[in-house]
Amino acid sequence: MKKIIYTILIFTGITTFAQETKHSKTSLDFSADFQSRYIWRGLEFGGNSVSAQPSLALNSGSFTLGAWAAYSLGGNNTAQEADLYLSIALSKTATATLTDYYFPQDGISNNYFSYGNNTGHVYELMLSFSSLFKSPLGLTVATNFAGADKNGTTQNYATYIELNYSKNINNVSYSLVAGGVVGDNGGYYLTNGTGLINLGIAASKEIKISDAFSLPVNAALTFNPDQENIYLTFGFSL
């Protein structure tokens, strides 16, 4: 039954996207980010290694159908990741995103097309608001509604909630972030159910290399109060 539901969700999303492309300008974008460490929502993935993060996205009107991945360059296959997502811009400041998270392992059969009780997929629905009440304050709410985030056979519905404040000063974009999780009874976010896991500041800018090319760079200082960890990371995009 779950496999049927997942198939319907994916088919509905792709069908809606295809209908949108008939009436909107369509573009295919790709890029690759390189980060000194892969830090996601206050958690470290991929071990002590540089992470290569390629992405591919098909955009049409308010819809984006995309793929994103993260691979350790240090030979450590821990928490390698390959995700698919479908997002829709609900307004100028609001976006809804459906994401299929998957974490393949090298050298074994990963059973990617298994969607039953033992699936390795985690499905998340996220609502994000880039501006609340016409202010620089943003909000993200993301809930795991199906898949491998379970406590035994019970779905946990772990929910990540984040507030962020963004500002641009002298061509440098700054962002302050505060994020926590509730309902994490299966330890998906490595908490005991509830925790403040992501406090930090991030900055990004473009470094002009030539008249035709600029290199986007970024840095972030991240605290995870729940785990008592701190990370300082640097990255760039191509």
Distance CA 195, CA 189 (A): 9
Select the more confidently predicted residue: 13 or 236: 236
Domains and CATH numbers, the chain: 2-237 (2.40.160.40)
Q: What is the pLDDT of residues 56-82, one digit of tens each?
A: 999 999 999 999 999 988 765 566 899
Q: How confident is the model at residue 92 (pLDDT cuts 50, 70, 90)?
A: very high
pLDDT of residue 159: 98
pLDDT of residue 236: 97
pLDDT of residue 219: 98
Which of 13, 36, 25 has the alpha carbon at shortest distance from 98? Answer: 13
How many percent of the chain have pLDDT more than 70? Answer: 86
Q: Across residues 31-41, what is the average pLDDT?
A: 96
pLDDT of residue 1: 43
Distance CA 178, CA 140 (A): 10
pLDDT of residue 2: 46
Q: How confident is the model at residue 38 (pLDDT cuts 50, 70, 90)?
A: very high
Select the more confidently predicted residue: 49 or 141: 141
Whole-number average pLDDT of the chain: 89
Q: How confident is the model at residue 115 (pLDDT cuts 50, 70, 90)?
A: confident
Q: Please list, in sequence order, all residues whose beta carbon lies within 8 angstroms of the beta carbon of residue 110, skipping any fewer than 6 positions away.
A: 104, 120
Q: What is the pLDDT of residues 160-206, one digit of tens each?
A: 999 999 999 999 999 999 999 999 999 999 999 999 999 999 999 99
Check pLDDT > 60 for residue 41.
yes
Q: Are 220 and 200 in contact (CB under 8 A)?
A: yes
Distance CA 97, CA 83 (A): 12
Distance CA 53, CA 31 (A): 8
